[in-house]
Each structure stands twice: as C-alpha cells, then as structure tokens.
Amino acid sequence: DIVMTQSPDSLAVSLGERATINCKSSQSFLYSSNNKTYLAWYQQKVGQPPKLLIYWASTRESGVPDRFSGSGSGTDFTLTISSLQAEDVALYYCQQYYTTPHTFGQGTKLEIK
C-alpha cells in the first residue's frame, strides 16, 4: 500500500500569514499516459464532510479561493494557503488515487495563532 505522511500534525498560523502543509508518499504516482499525478487535497471543517480543494496535485476545484494552491511532484507535495482567513480553520487531508487502497494522509489540524 502507498503510505501518505503529512506534516505537521497541527499548525497554528496568524491571520493573513501563510500556512504550509506537506504530504509525502512512499512511492511516486505519476501516470505516464497522461502526465497527471493523482493526488488530491481535502478540507474538513468541524461537523462537515470533506470538501475537495485541489486535484492533480495542483489544480484548484471550481469555487475554491485562489489563496489555496497545491504543488509538488514525485513523492513530495504541498498545500499552501497564502493568507490565512478565519474560515480556513479545519483539518486538511491529502489522498492518492493512483492505486487502491486510496490512502489518505493522517490529517493536519490548522488553527489560528
């Protein structure tokens, strides 16, 4: 199974500052046929289901604010929130869709400092 490891487990950032969450996979999952990396990022607020933020490692889902961005390749990926807003307090997860089981990272809790 592909192991997804997020860091840090929790993060406190001041409003307006940058937040960076990392996700490392135990193996690379780039589909050579289409040159796409099947990695997604989700945001989960308290009491709500997860919401898709980013797919293909760096493409923002429709309606997601542009302060959210995804980057990375190979085995190392990053979710960046360029200017933290109060409504961004949530848990964030990465997940790979390269192969089953479609493993998630353990999650990163983002709070306001």
**2 touches another protein (CB under 8 A):** no
What lies within 8 Å, CB to CB, of 37 at 6+ separation is 29, 30, 31, 56, 57, 72, 73, 77
SS3 content of the chain, % helix, strand, coil (to 5): 5, 50, 45
For 61, phi then psi, to 5°, come to: -65, 150
- AA letter at 46: V
**44 touches another protein (CB under 8 A):** yes
Q: Confirm if 73 and 61 have CB atoms less than 8 A apart.
A: no
Residue (7 or 14) nearer to another protein, CB: 7
**93 touches another protein (CB under 8 A):** yes
Near another protein by CB under 8 A: residue from 30, 36, 58, 64: 36
**56 touches another protein (CB under 8 A):** yes
Near another protein by CB under 8 A: residue from 11, 38, 58, 75: 38
**49 touches another protein (CB under 8 A):** yes
Residues that bind another protein (CB under 8 A): 36, 38, 40, 42, 44, 48-52, 55-56, 59, 61, 91, 93, 95, 97, 100-107
